[in-house]
Chains A and B, each alone.
Chain A
Amino acid sequence: MKIYLSRRVLSYISVIIPVALCSLLPLLMSSYYISFVALTFMYIALALSWNFFSGYTGYWSFGHNAFFGIGAYSVAVAIVRFGFPKYLSLIISGISAAILGITLGIVLLRLKGIYFAIALMVFADFLKVMFVNIKYVGGGPGILLPPEYALIPFYYISLGLVIISVLVSYFLKRSYVGYALSAMKDDEIAAQALGINTAKYRVLTLSLSSLVWGVMGGAFAIYMTYINPYSAFDDNLQLVAAVMTIFGGIGTVIGPLVGALVFSLIQEALWVTIPELYLIIVAATLILLLKFMPEGIVGRLTIFKSGKVKRRK
């Protein structure tokens, strides 16, 4: 008897099996590998959620580290100053980052292209400077969280955020919102003329993306048990998320996932062998990538598959 598997069932299986495998992995591995995989998941979640704002809308953000930092600091303040339970405070970090995202989305609504990118970047810098100066949150030396080994929770939170980001990326792409965003990316004025409320979708995607970054920042703070303004508002995090996204294919659904996975492996290999050259190689990769393959791995494959390669100049 032949068993027929419909496309739908197959696609469910192809999602469920990796997820099940990933959730069982901590039982099999040593803590070094668990922490490596957990950090990889963190990068995947960050890259995916950066992509569904910047990649889908075409508004490049260079200040997403602001949301990460706000998330990290909300958790730290909630736990240390108010004695909140640890994982409940992750909700606070998500909410505060999302509120910041919505506020910035509304306030910076009129900024376009490069102005938007610079404004967000400057804002993230400003927050960093502010947190260095505010004594209540520990100032420059930072703030200590209750020390507790929290690798396994961090692993599962990261995995959960990866799943959420994949789902959001997928549904944003395949829904009315996705087509609206796509139209908006091509020509915002034309999209408005078609009756698309571009401002609404921009704020919506920014708030979703800042939510993921905020929760991730909170989980990272709990995992590290210590944060300071420089680690919480780390520019390199934003850069690496962007590089991973471009590496995989910006604007695609699984591109950031592929890019972050491949890039994390390269990154880990570099850290182990030649740590002093790590950022130099990241920078050189970025430069060469933008020169030769700005559409990324998945973007290149898609173009190849759909035969668009002939039409490219």
Chain B
Amino acid sequence: MLLELQILQLLVQGFLLGCIYNLIAMGLNIAFGVAKVVNFAHGAFIMLGAYIAYWIFQIYGISPYISFIFVGVIVGFLGLIPYLVNVEPFFGMREFDALTLLSTYGYALLIINLARLIWTDVLRTVNLGLGPITLGPITISSVYLYGAIISISLSIAFYLVLTRTLIGTAIRATSESWEIAMILGINPKKISRLIFILGVGMAGVAGSILSTIVAINPEMGLSIIGLAFAIITLGGLGNNKGAVIGSFILSYSELFGSFFLGAEYEVAIFFAILFLVLVIKPSGITGVEI
């Protein structure tokens, strides 16, 4: 194959992978942006979503591309438990960040180990029997394509809600300043509760999409969360554009790194970029100075 064609292939593949990464990071990012909660259990909720989608597929035969909305709703409301018990009581405390981070870490461990107890460490896959799609000179995997389509449509929907509706305006006001939101008659506690449910719900959606792409096991909760944190830290915590940029930097650095330097440098390049950005601009690429 010609080098140009290989690079074209990598560009397309990287775009699809970046969309999937964005789906993973989006929920974490909006929860931080509005509720200011660092949800460490996000990865665990993704894992939970993947399992729920898997069992729905196994028992009722419903494809995760249809059941993802349902999975998102279930997981989102499960996310209310950590929020009400260990996040809301800490609002206004000086150590809010550390307390919520540690509590959600606790929930992550709890969910992952419960999952290990119930479902064991066996790798499970949702096999939809979808083969690769050939588009002229390039070949793409169809599960990635469908995942990317869902990711893009969700991002656009969220963007429209944020910019065109009253509730979106209230959300943006809350993320700017709690005090001013309160003056304007918005209940910031209600808004951040809503956003947290939405964020965790997105984790459920990401989980059901991931169940078609990777083999699911309880451990994936922890490996995903590191990746998602790295993405949103690179882009700028709480900034939606930042999460998109971070996702694409991750996907392209992985693909091009492993193509030009070998598979063992796949992750190293991204981390090097992340570290460099943090040193130069601690708040990430799009972040405002802290």
A-side residues, CB < 8 A to B, are 58, 60, 62, 107-108, 110-115, 117-119, 121-123, 125-126, 129-130, 133, 235, 239, 242, 246, 276-277, 279-280, 282-284, 286-287, 290-291, 294
- Does any Cβ of A come within 8 Å of B70's Cβ? no
Min CB gap B232→A, angstroms: 9
User: A122-B271, A279-B109, A287-B85 given. 4 additional CB < 8 A pairs?
Assistant: A115-B290, A117-B98, A239-B105, A291-B103
* B230 neighbours in A (Cβ, 8 Å): 122, 125
CA gap between A280 and B166 in the complex, in Å? 42
Q: B232 — nearest CB in chain A belongs to which residue? A: A118
- Pairwise interchain contact B102-A133, C-beta atoms closer than 8 A: no
The CA-CA distance from A113 to B95 in the complex, in Å, is 9
- Identify which of B136-144, B151-159, B197-205, B274-282 touches chain A: B274-282
Distance of A115 Cα from B108 Cα, bound (Å): 20
User: Pick the contact of B268 from A107, A110, A129, A291 — CB < 8 Å?
Assistant: A129
Interface presence of B150 (CB below 8 A): no
Partner of A121, one of B97, B103, B113, B226: B226
- In the bound complex, residues from chain B placing their C-beta under 8 Å from that of A239 are 105, 109
Assess the B109–A282 pair: CB atoms within 8 A.
yes
Residue in B89, B102, B278, B279 whose CB lies within 8 Å of A286: B102
In the complex the two chains form, is B268's CB within 8 Å of A130's CB? Answer: yes
Q: Which residues of A are found within 8 Å of B114, using beta-carbon distances? A: 280
CB-based contact B282/A115 at 8 Å: yes
Main secondary structure of the interface of A (DSSP, over half): helix
B238 to chain A, nearest CB (A): 10
Q: Which residues of B contact A113 (CB under 8 A)?
A: 97-98
Measured CB to CB, the closest approach of chain A to B99, in angstroms, equals 6
Q: Is B86 an interface residue (CB 8 A)?
A: yes
Interface size on B, residues (CB 8 A): 38
Closest residue to A134 on the B side, CB-wise? B264
Tell me, in angstroms, the Cα distance from A87 to B113 when the chains sit together.
37
Please determine whether A287 and B107 come into contact, CB atoms closer than 8 angstroms: yes
Q: Does B51 contact A (CB under 8 A)?
A: no
Q: How distant is the Cα of A239 from the Cα of B107 in the complex, in angstroms?
A: 13
Chain B residues 21-58 with CB under 8 Å of chain A are 38
Q: Which of B84-120 contact A (CB under 8 A)?
A: 85-86, 89, 95, 97-99, 101-103, 105-110, 113-114, 117
List the 8 shortest-distance A-B pairs measured between CB atoms, nearest first.
A286-B106, A283-B109, A133-B264, A283-B110, A126-B271, A287-B106, A279-B113, A60-B98
Q: Cβ of A276: which chain B residues have Cβ within 8 Å of it?
A: 117
**With A and B bound together, what is the CA distance between A247 and B289 in angstroms?**
35
Q: Give the shortest distance, in Å, between B257 (CB) and chain A (any CB).
A: 12
Chain A residue nearest to B234 in the complex (CB): A122
The answer, yes or no, to whether B229 is at the interface (CB within 8 Å) is yes
Determine the distance from Cα of A148 to Cα of B70 in the docked complex, in whole angstroms.
Answer: 57
Cβ of B237: which chain A residues have Cβ within 8 Å of it?
A: 114-115
What are the residues of chain B within 8 A of A235 when measuring CB–CB? 222
Residues of A within 8 A of B105 (CB): 62, 239, 286
